[in-house]
Each structure stands twice: as structure tokens, then as C-alpha cells.
Amino acid sequence: MNERMPVPGPEAVYEDAFGITLSSRIRLARNLRGVPFPDKASPAVRQDVVARVRAAAQEPLPDQRLLAACTPLERQQLFEDHLISHALLEGRPDSAVCLSLDCQRSAMVNEEDHLRIQALRPGLALRVAWADADALDDALERRLDYAFSAALGFLTSCPSNVGTGMRASVLMHLPALVLMGEMDPIVNGLGKIGLAVRGRWGEGTAALGHMFQISNQLTLGVPESRTIEDLEAIVKEVAGHEQNARERLRRERRTFAEDLAARAAGILGAARLMTAQEALERLSELRLGIALGLVRGIGMPQVDRLLREVQPAHLQAAVGRNLTAAERDMERAKRLRGELRRPPKPLAKRIP
């Protein structure tokens, strides 16, 4: 059984006035006792797993989707929202995703493991996300028999997940550390203490828009509470380094920072073509300018909404049809111009 932590109070969500910590995620890998792992299971066995999990999850996760029955656009949108992994993008046969109505809790079925339980929360809220995932895990375990070893813990397809089966991660916006040339030493240091640093969509993805996912790698012999406490402390330390780098950027390279934000605002407000990658990069720079107090006329929540809406599947869903790559670049630029018709202006008075 999972180690119990106290029910988190309001203090479990940490205030971040600088917008550095974007979201927290807890993921639990689980498998059914006596059933081959998905990659070794026959189609009939995988179908049975889907049926059993969907029945067990009916109450907590009522929005249930067979991924092979979803359109590629629907699967891409789920991926962009961090609700399915890259492995399920192609609609792997006999796989599914079960979602709560607010999409904060979910479970992938027949990915690498029979079950990948997940809880997502905005900001640095690992304890709240853990409480969500733990409650969902308990609800499912009451109706499913998990593969569990008294000596090893939860048994998983990948040996690196054996034990608690838990991956805790936080998505962070770290542009100043990148611009000040200080990100690589931090990545190397985190690796030495057992943490992984990846791009926005996890393993194998680039850190587009200066967004990095920091997560634990050790699951065997480390209690869930210790994993969360350690990751919280590290995230706060990294956020402190980013805040310090932002202050130095504003103080020592003020003209560069102003130019970066002004160029980003100008391009976003005037471009006729815009790739998803460029949109993420320019919005990241604009977001940094807002955090530094160098621009006015736009708020960080608006930029955060645009970071989601400019992604390919969300863009096409808003239009209501599939678009070619060229059409997406035109539509993305059009929507950004509409939002930033009057580009944010640099502050006339310098902040001391």
C-alpha cells in the first residue's frame, strides 16, 4: 500500500508571484496481478484489461475514451494537454484514457503499464496532486488486484519504476537561466542527485519556450513523502536561481531584456506566418518581459492561455477542421495578431 501523508491544507500550494512554476504532476504506474505487461499481452488480454479498468474507473473517471476510436486530432489534443503520452498518439490498439470531468485526474490504460494514474495541478502543488492521485489509486485498487511484491513494491514493466511506481514532476519556466548561460550547470547538478530534466512534454522532447520538466528518477526504497519533499525543496531552489537570474538580467542587461520583449511583442502582433515553435519561443520571451515589469498592456494569464491555444491540435479544434501546416501557420499568426492587435508597450519609466 502507499505511504499515507497528511491531508494537504491551503499551504500545500505555494505562491509564485514570478510565474516560474507552471504545474505539478503525480503519475503512478500500476499493473494487474497475473496479467502479462501490455507489450507481451495478446489483443484479447489487452481488451480484457481495458474492460476491467474502465469498469473500475467508471465513477471517479467518467469520461472514458478508446484511443483507436479517437481521431488523430483528438489524440493530439489530449497529448498537448499532458493527458496521454507520446506512445499513445498513434492510437495503439486496445488502449484507452479515462478522465475526470475537470481533467485534473486521469488514467492511461495499456501504455507501458496496464495503468498510468495521473493527477495534474497548476503551480507548485505536489502534495495536492499526490492527494488526488492517491485517492484515485485507492478507489481503483478496491476493484482491481495490483501486481505487488512485499519485497520490491509495485511491479512495473520498466525496472526503473519498480517500488512506489511514482513519478513526481514540476513544469518550470526558466528563461533567465538559459539567457544568462546558467542552465546547463543546473541540469548537470540535478542529474547527480537523481533528478531528470526534460522538455515540456517529457522524455525525448526539447525545452521549447524555455520550459523544463523536473522529475524524480528513483522509486525503489524511497517513500512517496520523501520524494515529494525533496522535489519541492529542489524546485524552490531552482526557482530562487531563476528569480536571481531575472533580477541580474533586468539590472545588468536591461537594454537586452527590453529589446527581447519588444521584439517578441512586435513579431507576435504583426507576423503573417507563425510556426508553433516560434510562437512558443516568442510568447516565452514576452512572458519574461511581463515578469520583469518591462511591458504593459498584457497579463501573464493571457500569455499562458495563448501558450496552450497556439498548439496545433488546439488551434484546429478552435477552427473546427483539419488544417495543413501552412494553414496552421497562417491561422496561428492571425489569432495572435487578434490578441495583440495593440502590441504591449515597453514601460516609459525605468524601474530602479
**Rounded distance between C-alpha atoms, residue 65 and residue 59, angstroms:** 14
Q: In total, how many domains does the chain have?
A: 2
Q: Are residues 233 and 263 in the same domain?
A: no
Nearest to 332 by CA among 270, 247, 274: 274
122-136, 170-184, 217-231: lowest mean pLDDT where? 217-231
Please say if the pLDDT value at position 202 is more than 90: no
The Cα–Cα gap between 97 and 107 comes to 6
In a shared domain, residues 184 and 268: no
227 sits in which H/E element: helix 224-252
Does 15 reside within a domain? Answer: yes
Clarify whether residues 181 and 283 are in a common domain.
Answer: no
How many percent of the chain have pLDDT more than 70?
90
Burial 35-59 (b: 16+ CB within 10 A, else e): bebbeebeeebbeebbebbbebbee
Give dist(CA 152, CA 150) in Å, integer. 6
Instruction: Judge whether residue 9 has pLDDT over 90.
Output: no
Q: Where residue 208 falls among pLDDT bands split at 50, 70, 90? A: confident
Report whether pLDDT(91) > 90: no
313/265 same-domain check: yes
Supply the CATH number for residue 37's domain.
3.30.590.10
**Average pLDDT over all residues of the chain:** 90
Residue 138 lies in a domain: yes
Other beta carbons within 10 angstroms of residue 244's beta carbon come to 14
**Count of CB atoms within 10 A of residue 199's CB?**
16
pLDDT at 351 over 50: no
Q: Has residue 186 got a pLDDT over 70?
A: yes
More confident residue, 221 or 114: 114
Q: Looking at the structure, do residues 207 and 90 belong to the same domain, yes or no? A: yes
Predicted confidence (pLDDT) per residue in 240-249, tens digit: 999 999 999 9
Whether residue 273 is contained in a domain is answered as yes
Q: Is the same domain home to 261 and 233?
A: no
Helix (H/G/I), strand (E/B), else coil: 9: coil
Within a domain: 132: yes
Report yes or no on 310 lying in a domain: yes
pLDDT in tens, 27-61: 999 999 999 999 999 999 999 999 999 999 999 99
Q: Are residues 284 and 338 in the same domain?
A: yes
Last residue of a domain, one of 243, 269, 295: 243
Grid coordinates standing for 179? 539567457
Q: What domain range includes position 326?
A: 253-346
Q: What is the pLDDT of residue 16?
A: 63
Are 62 and 154 found together in one domain?
Answer: yes
Domain boundary among 243, 278, 302: 243
